[in-house]
Chain A
Amino acid sequence: MGCIPVAKRGVSQIIAAVVLSAIALSAVMMLYPTISSHMSRQVYSVSVLSSSLMKQESYLLLSVNVKNTGSAPVVLECRLYDENGQPHLASPAPAAINPGATVSFIYENSSCTGFLVGNEYRVDLCDNSSGIYRVNVLCLGR
């Protein structure tokens, strides 16, 4: 009995590699627009580097350092809310902050009322495009 040769079916390894590369390439081409658009999309993001609220009898000082950590410019206003919920606008108002830049908001009042040492107060950073960022700040001092 002679051996019956078994025919090898399928594609060669070279062709397989070419086909796989083609599949990968088409996958990349399909995903590229998604990734590319994600990478180039304007991201609105700010980060509060530091914030402090100091009271000295009737003198009050708020300081808020904000960095634009997004990829789009933002225009922010900083408002401090007192015990009665009344807003106090910090300077500069508004502040245009480019991506990567930092701005310092200051609110100063020599005859303030409505703040108590030991209490926390709300600070809103408002941008027309991206909405409101909110932090709480503890009032220190005397």
Chain B
Amino acid sequence: MIAAALFACGVFYTEITAVAGAPSPDDLALTDMVLSKHYGHSYFKAILKSSSPEPLVVNISVIGEDGAAALTFTDVLLVPKGEAELVAEGSLGCAFTVGDTYTIKVTGDRGGALQIVCKGVEAYHGKMILFNLPGMGSTVINYSEVERGVIDTATKLGLMYQSITSMEEWAAILANPEEGLIIVNPYGNTVPAPTEALSNPQSFITGLGETVSENGWTWVHVGGMPFQKLSDGTSTVQIENGQGIQWFFGSDKVNVNGGDGQEFLQDLTDDDGTSLNYFLEVSGFEPNPLPQKMKFDYAIVTAASELPETKYTFYKSPGQSHAGARSFYVGDDGGYYIHWGAPTNNFDSYQSGAISLMLALYTNTR
């Protein structure tokens, strides 16, 4: 009996040792997680809790839209069964998009891969495309300053953007168009086009207008005579004045003339948080408010009751159909054309780039 009892004790001891040595399911947890965005400003908060009897040191990263760490906490020390509050915020531009999920990476004494949904407000959910191609140039506007103004504004408003640095990339976007792109052309009267398009400019520009219409794109023209030239970066094709914009809209009732007088800011004062005034404030644009009058070198002219249909008029000559800044519907599927007829007597190229992007956002979000 004693032997049996001793044997049973030995077996019991072995089993109880095994149970005591077994791990808990997980001894590190992230709770109360918040990831929010207000235009270009992002905020992250979480509580890190340890149930481990040992001190732990971990690193935490929140992976941004580009797959790189947008927020990082290094060497976070957790005392046994302790907790730590993680808080970070700052101007992170388009690192996060409202409504999308993001990965939280934990490394160090314990690892982890978690996900969190970004909440908040942003200027636009889609993506902006900005050309940054070699050999394009511009005769009417400083395109590098336009690009700088557009990128600065996109960052401050938290807009996701992609720079197109090769004609192959542009051709691929045209071949497989993504819905809802905002495309900013900083090259004034020159439009980037794949080499094969140069032999038939009308076909290319007409097709571009259809692509804008069918995919809800917004084409942003920042200065000069729109669609006057096509260039692949090596060769350029000249188009007769005014014909390019007519091909784009599929209408001969539109033209672009030199500005012949002051144009006045139209009433855009209703501020519900997404208005132009709010974009100006959030992006820190100067001057704010916008000048009441301005002179544009390239005003767009349309016939009343004819296509293209106007969505918003920003600057217009009183009593005339000239508009230095105006947005138009392109088709019925959310396509838009934004006309900013720079150069102006008030804004430099940087400001023209910034404001034309804000007009595009205003047109899309209202």
- Which A residues are closer than 8 A to B by beta carbons? 21, 23-24, 27-28, 31, 35, 38-39, 47, 49-50, 52-54, 56-59, 61-65, 67, 69, 100, 102, 104-106, 108, 110-111, 140-142
- Judge whether B106 is part of the interface by a CB distance below 8 angstroms: yes
B67 touches which one: A39, A64, A67, A110 (CB < 8 A)? A110
Report the minimum CB–CB distance from A33 to chain B (whole Å): 12
Known: A24-B3, A59-B67. A104 touches B107 (CB 8 A): yes
Q: Using known A-B contacts A54-B113, A63-B112, A110-B67, determine if residue A69 contacts B107 with beta carbons closer than 8 Å.
A: no
A35 touches B10 (CB 8 A): yes
CA distance A73 to B105 in the complex (A): 28
Q: Are A50 and B26 in contact (CB under 8 A)?
A: yes
With a CB–CB cut-off of 8 A, which chain A residues contact B7? Answer: 31, 35
Chain A residue nearest to B24 in the complex (CB)? A49
A62 to B103, CA, bound (A): 11
Q: Complex Cα distance A110/B25, Å?
A: 29
* Among candidates B24, B26, B67, B115, residue contacting A57 with C-beta atoms closer than 8 Å: B67
Give the chain A neighbours of B340 by CB distance below 8 A. Answer: none
In contact, A63 and B111 (Cβ under 8 angstroms):
yes
Q: Could you say which residues of chain A place their CB within 8 Å of the CB of B3?
A: 23-24, 27-28, 31
User: Using Cβ atoms and an 8 Å threshold, which residues of chain A touch B21?
Assistant: 69, 100
Number of A-B contacts (CB under 8 A): 94
Question: Which residues on the B side are within 8 Å of A105 (C-beta)?
Answer: 111
B27 partner residues in chain A, CB cutoff 8 A: 49
From residue B177, how far is it (CB to closest CB) to chain A in Å?
19
Closest to A62 in B: B113
Q: Judge if B306 is at the interface, Cβ distance under 8 Å.
A: no
Task: Judge if B304 is at the interface, Cβ distance under 8 Å.
Answer: no
Chain A CB within 10 A, most for which of B68, B105, B112, B114: B112
Complex CA gap A38/B103 in Å reads: 45
**Chain A residues whose CB sits within 8 angstroms of the CB of B111 once the complex forms:** 63-65, 104-106
Binding site for A on B (CB under 8 A): 1-3, 6-7, 10, 13-14, 18, 21-27, 63, 65, 67-68, 100-103, 105-115
Chain A residue at minimal CB-CB distance from B67? A59
B110 cross-chain contacts in A, Cβ below 8 A: 65, 102, 104
The chain A residue with its CB closest to the CB of B17 is A39
Give chain B residues whose Cβ lies under 8 Å from the Cβ of A39.
Answer: 10, 13-14
Q: Which residues of B contact A57 (CB under 8 A)?
A: 65, 67
A63: contacting residue among B6, B14, B24, B106, CB under 8 A: B106
Sample of 6 further A-B pairs with CB below 8 A, known A31-B10, A35-B7, A104-B109: A27-B2, A52-B113, A57-B67, A106-B107, A106-B111, A141-B115
Contacts of A59 in B (CB 8 A): 63, 67, 103
Complex CA distance for A99 and B6, rounded to whole angstroms: 27
Taking CB atoms, residues of chain B closer than 8 Å to A111 are 67
A-B pairs with lowest CB-CB distance, top 7: A104-B111, A27-B3, A59-B67, A63-B111, A54-B113, A24-B2, A52-B113
**How far is A142 from B96 in the complex, measured between Cα atoms in Å?**
14
Residues of B within 8 A of A102 (CB): 23, 109-110
Q: Which residues of A contact B22 (CB under 8 A)?
A: 47, 69
- In the assembled complex, which residues on chain A have CB atoms less than 8 Å from the CB atom of B1? 24
Within the assembled complex, what's the spacing in Å between the Cα atoms of A21 and B68?
Answer: 73
